[in-house]
Chain A
Amino acid sequence: MLLQGVGTELIYSFVIIVCSLMVYRATREMYELSSYKGIKYFRYAFLFFAIAYLFKSFIKFLLVYFGASRIIDITPGFVGMITLFAFMYFSSLSVFYLLYSLIWKRWSGRYGIITSFHILSIAIAFITITTTSIAVLIGINLFILAIAIIGLIITYNESRTHKRSKNKKKGSSMYFIYTLLFIFWIFNIVQVLVPSFLQFSQILVDLASLGIFLTILYKVLKKTGSN
């Protein structure tokens, strides 16, 4: 039963990894032609989502292989530590990069932003592997989610004002999709860090995440005209 559940989860993860890599691939030509920073950060966000999901799958595999309930409980300890560190690092980076792809124009001309994303992601990953407190782990992820949601609200309001002043049609549905993506991404992280916390809703989180990534991929392919 447990193996079957993990198997299904690995299939979901595989589809999400493929979706993310397809988004990265489908936007390559557009970025190469335009060198547009927003597209660059958007692409990187999906590359990091793919890598993070890969580590998430590996963590699930390790948990089953070692028969452990938490990644930090497996021996040898460094295997779990390194995998968890990489997962948290790329997870945080993917959120920061996607958010930055929406707000980079506001912050253009300021230096060190990308470096600070990497430093913050390393700090988050380091705290994650060194703490055993569930409250701290959930707190960190709520902090990331709060940053993402506040950033989205600010850019959404600016976008609406900008479009109204230019008499353009009302905003796209992308802000809603981004919000869902951030919320379910954080659920995904909490699932890995505190497996007992969301165990009853695991299938819901997996299906919702799958739906969101497929929707984004569909929109990307529709716009880019890729096969």
Chain B
Amino acid sequence: MRFVDEFREPELITKAAHEIRRLADPRRHYRLMEICGGHTHAIYRFGLNDLLPPNIELIHGPGCPVCVLPMGRIDDGLSMTQDPNVIFTAFGDMMRVPGTQGSPLEYKARGADVRIVYSPADALKLAQSNPDRHVMFFAIGFETTAPSTALTLMRARAQGVRNFYVFCNHVTIIPAIRAILESPEMRLDAFIGPGHVSTVIGCRPYEWIARQAGKPIVVSGFEPLDLLESIMMVLRQLNDGRAQVENQYKRAVLGEGNRAALKAMADVFEPRPFFEWRGMGFIAQSALRLRECFAEFDAELRFRIPGIRVTDPKAAQCGEVLTGALKPNQCRLFGKECTPEQPVGALMVSAEGSCAAYYSYEHRKAALTVLAPAL
């Protein structure tokens, strides 16, 4: 398969792993945060931790949009399904995320009209083919998915669709990184920068991380070789005492980003003064809402939203895991009360959530004695 197999070539991966071991100074401990949940998933999926020397520690960042959404927003979104005329649509990732009264799938099992869509455009199509129903799209995601929501809203307006609404939960990555760097317990050496987000925003918004915070950041692709090469680039910067923004994912990411996507976002959305992130609290200017000129499509204005605030279960330590202060398996509930099948926190639901990835791919490996493939 082109653009995949080249980046999973065993021989090249082995070489890269050797180079990483050569570059890693045995007297140092390296704490690298991969910001993006897609990277977290790939690291576990491909068993990359097995290839790294023990003094390179990968810390999982907050770049999983489902995971950072507070439970109250899920309840708010699901409250709209009380109106039997509403069709609730969301990406598949959202479907098993628990609200206080159950996940969207549990609402569906109880009779609510809940449907999975693969893009906001599918939700718009659904609205057009069901003109007597209200179709609500539960929008989530960073700058990766926000442009498609924006373009869908522009299309809805151009086509005069009157029964399509967006419940906007889009968030932006830079304020979250700032919050992590300002957190007192944070001791990070460098970042693996998000790949998909950067295809939209480019590399420039990260400059302050290198200049002001003095931390190297390398924007990375998602295949094993991409991630290993990015780790190599980070190690070289750290060894040289440099702090720069570098782009490993050149085949997809341009320095200035995707101008058309950025313009669509700017036309449709404006920053919210504050937005709550699960485990991280309220972060200023960290989320998007619809501009006034799109008010007719704004589910928060069209429906009565209770504005529920729910504190996470006390024992759950999603916040500490989200900010990298705890490893997934160090949470009190991990693998006991909280499993992918019966999740307490969203980190255990989404494929990009570090707890789900750790649970699925890693945690029983502890008992492993033989590593070398025999076949």
Specify whether A and B are partners. no
